[in-house]
Amino acid sequence: MTDTLIARTADALQSAFGRAPDLWVQAPGRVNLIGEHTDYNDGFVLPCAIDYRTVIAVTARSDRQVRVVAADYGHAVDTFDLDGPIAPHPTLQWANYVRGTVKMLAEHLAPLGLSLRGADLAIAGNVPQGAGLSSSASLEVAVGQAFKALLGLGDRDGVSQTDLALIAQRAENRFVGVNCGIMDQLISARAEAGHALLIDCRSLSGQPVHLPESVAVMVVHSRVRRGLVGSEYNTRRTQCEAAARHYGVPALRDVDLARLERDRGGLDEVVYRRARHIVTENARTVDAAAALAAGDLVQLGELMAASHVSMRDDFEITHPAIDRLVDIAQQAVGHEGGARMTGGGFGGCIVVVLPDERVADVRAAIEGPHPSPDGGPPTVWISHPGAGAGQNW
């Protein structure tokens, strides 16, 4: 699939600008195996990169102009100048992810005595859009990687892969206007092939966790539109902050289960249940990383099942159609592996970790007699953990 993207970007660059690429870069999408709503509580998450990605063909310019062609949007072209103010595009939403990343990268480089140079970019991707697999983070990180490669920048220059992720997050927060956490950009920038990454969302440290080569990651889109996720997300975040204030800590990361129970007096019951999900989910995520590292798919499956129950009953972010999909997947997987909802909630996707040999049976169980609410079968993607952003892959 990546070869196809490389060819498409080369063709787009030639068609739009009459130029051949100097280099290519890529950045993947991601799925979170376990650790839901823990990121903004300074907790732990366990995502992996998927082998669906954004590819950019890059060629240098001798001036300060940036020209971008989007192969996935009818070869639409955006042009802006690095010496002028970089403002949101009036009509092209995809262009704002590019412009925002370039603006934030330029601001990051200025105190280091570095500056960007003009470039022509051609972009194509196969990360499913609107599925909660971080197509936007993939695009942002790929744009940052394009200029990092073009300028030959690295850790010694003050542009590490973690810096790249933070720049991409700032672009989404401050320019695009989406108040996302750091997980999506960080795993896209720093993933290792064949591994998930246990991320400490407070320190931004990451511990690679090996997935056996015989294990697949299945992502299933329920086709349930996540219509309430924005307002409900904000409500959950407010409830978690209220719980942290009750316990007198900076974030629920700092509360263990014993203290949660011991000092709950006077805490609203709903807020208590929200806090219980976060506290137990943090523990589950750390335990899941250990189980995965040991190749213990039985334990991993039990932790994923417990995570889903907690999201359903304590955090109340699942949906009946999602619950049914998870039940079907868990029964089809059996004891080795597991399934749970992944993402913000109220629809979207489930993630299934399972042996390769079980993929066909689980896919058949999911796609067979159980249509989605709109009458069609759920959409299924199969992946193995891919590498993070880079120039060579």
CA distance 326 to 178: 29
DSSP sequence for 24-39: EEEEEEEEESS--S-G
Q: Which residue in 39, 51, 120, 184 is the catalytic one?
A: 184
Q: Residue 299 in 3-state DSSP?
A: helix
- Cα dihedral: 171, 253, 289, 234 (round 10): -50
Structure tokens belonging to residue 340 = 């749970």
Q: Residue 284 in 3-state DSSP?
A: helix
41, burial (CB in 10 Å: exposed 0-12, middle 13-18, buried 19+): buried
Nearest 5°: the CA angle 295, 300, 306 is 175
Radius of gyration of the chain (CA): 21
The tokens 């203290």 sit on which residue? 259
| Sheet strand arrangement including 215-221 | 338-342, 349-355, 215-221, 379-383
Q: Is the CB of residue 4 less than 8 Å from the CB of residue 51?
A: no
184 as an active site residue: the answer is yes
The tokens 């591994």 sit on which residue? 195
Q: Is the CB of residue 391 less than 8 Å from the CB of residue 339?
A: no
Task: Report the phi/psi class of residue 348: left, alpha or beta, with left for phi > 0 and alpha for psi in -120 to 50.
Answer: left
CA distance 74 to 279: 46
Q: Is the CB of residue 51 less than 8 Å from the CB of residue 1?
A: yes
Catalytic residues: 184
